[in-house]
Structure 1
Amino acid sequence: MKTYSWFIILVLALVCSSCAWLGWGEEEEMNKSANLLLSEGTSSFRSGDYKSAVRAYTDLKDWYPFSQYAILAELKIADAHYELEEYEEAIFAYEDFEKMHPKNEAIPYVIYKTGLCWFDQIGTVDRDSTPARKSLEVFTRLTDQYPDSKFSSMAENNKKVCLENLAGHELYVADFYLKTKKYLAALKRYEYLAQNFPRTKQAKEALTKIPECKKHLDEEKIEN
């Protein structure tokens, strides 16, 4: 009798393991309601567990694409990637949201966060200026399209930082050319800086160095 009981237990164990192996256990996961997935995602996000939040929101979006919460899930996925400093994924998610829901009331926020993804990657003036240029473009589009949005007001301060960084980069490159006696290249950089970033302190410095470049160029002409 004991042998028979152990046989039954063994069969049941094999059946349960087979169910899991065949993916039947996943059905229980998929039985989670949209409300439950939203709750899990929100709880994970608030506690700083952004990877779990991405999983919950992704399941919500994929399993319930017509749910009233699906659009919110799309946005929170982008937010979670941003918090994880996964900027490439966040930018893709924000831009996809804007493309899919261009009339949504959250669009000013979405554009602002897209700009922040670039803004947070800005380095020193001797580094690649792409993040500053990209963030300035995004923030400018925001302030132009939604001038009355609170996010436009927030973006104005960031635009100033971008301009200072871009101007600083131009000055850094121009100074390098000047030090290496590439006077024509330096002159063009200083003039570009003065014309395109006229309200920056770097532009004022560039204006003081333009005569020096021209003087050296004139001297080179005489020598030749």
Structure 2
Amino acid sequence: MSFACRLLVLLLFVLTGTGCSIFQEYDETAGWDASQLYTAGKEALDEGDYQKAIQLYTKLEARFPYGRYTQQAQLETAYVHYKDGEPQAAIAAADRFIKLHPRHPNVDYAYYMRGLASFDPGRSFLDRFFPQDSAQRDPTTARESFRYFSELVQRFPTSRYSQDAIQRMTYLRNNLARHEIQVADYYLRRGAPLAAANRGKYVLEHYQRTPSVPDALEIMVRAYREMGMDDLAADALKVLAQNHPERAAQLVP
């Protein structure tokens, strides 16, 4: 065997045998303690490198399943996913923290993050150029967000996040009421007065003291008139006149 052949065989042995370790990815975090991993993850989070933050927090939990640094990383993971535009992952991380640490002193933050992550997941890059009325979006996530915020307020009324949650609940409630009005108006224009009246009635029953209440009453008046239900139309008009006489005046025959 020539020298060149022997050299080639040796090289192949090195690359496929013990020498393959030179191609293994170097892990700079090997040997780091929990504090170092958490600090590095937090720095990545603060710098907006969310993928790196997730990787470091994952390593921290894998190497040190217990301890205050791991618990804090688990809590912050929900926020990282939220900032990274992954609302469902954020909600899942918050749910997981609540199940693992139901008595943690900062568990209220996990409840808050669930509501925040589902607050407006429909917004996208295109919304900056083609704004869409939030009341026209699918109300499913809005209802989910309202439920999450409501649970936070009920469980932790003195939480530092409760006041913000209440304000967001008011916004969501108003939007949900507007959504019902838009659907009711659609039914009325499409010749389905009974469905329109029922939507208006639903707003009165479930979204009292929202700006959509006079709209609901007006739709009910119009819908009942179309169906020949003059007594119900008169009752709705009377309520509208008592609270919004300027709106009622427009509907007087």
Q: State the TM-score bracket (shorter-chain normalisation).
A: 0.7 to 0.9
Determine the structure 1 residue equivalent to 2:160: 150
Provide the residue aligned with 2:116 in structure 1.
116
Cα deviations across residues 34-66 of structure 1 (Å, max 9, x unaligned)?
222112101111111111011001100111112
**Distance in 2, Cα, partners of 1:68 & 1:116:** 24
Amino acid across the alignment from 1:18: C
Q: Percent identity?
A: 31
| Other-structure match for 1:89 | 89
Question: What per-residue deviation string (whole Å, max 9, x for no partner) do you get for residues 94-132 of structure 1?
Answer: 011001110011111111111000112256222200121
Matched residue of 2:145: which SS?
Answer: helix
Task: Verify the 8 A CA contact 2:149 2:165 in the aligned structure 1.
Answer: yes
1:128 — aligned with what? 138
Once residues 116 and 18 of structure 1 are traced to their aligned partners in structure 2, the CA distance between those partners, rounded to angstroms, is: 47
2:27, 2:151 → 1: CA distance? 45
Q: Alpha carbons of 1:27 and 1:174: their partners in 2 closer, same or farther (altered >3 Å)?
A: closer
Matches within 5 A, 1:3-42: 14=15, 17-20=19-22, 29-42=29-42
Aligned partners of 2:196 and 2:219 also within 8 Å = no
Aligned residues: 211
Matched residue type, 1:213: A
The secondary structure found in structure 2 opposite 1:91 is: helix
- Structure 1: where are the runs of 5+ without partners? 220-224
Which residue does 2:173 correspond to in 1?
163
Q: Identify the match of residue 217 of structure 1 among 208, 218, 227.
A: 227
For residues 59 and 159 of structure 2, what CA distance do their matches in structure 1 show?
32
Instruction: State the Cα deviation string for residues 190-223 of structure 1 (Å, max 9, x = none).
Output: 100111101111112111221211111118xxxx
Bigger helix fraction: 1
**TM-score of the superposed pair, with normalisation by structure 1:** 0.86
1:53-72 equivalences in 2 (<5 Å): 53-72=53-72
CA, structure 1 residues 27+113, in 2 after alignment: closer, same or farther (shift >3 Å)?
closer
Query: For residues 205 and 162 of structure 1, do their structure 2 counterparts lie closer, same or farther at Cα, with a shift above 3 Å needed?
Result: same
Tell me which residue corresponds to 1:186.
196
1:45-60 matched pairs, under 5 angstroms:
45-60=45-60
Return the offset for 1:141. Answer: 0.9
- Tell me, yes or no, if the aligned pair for 2:45 and 2:53 is still in contact at 8 Å: yes
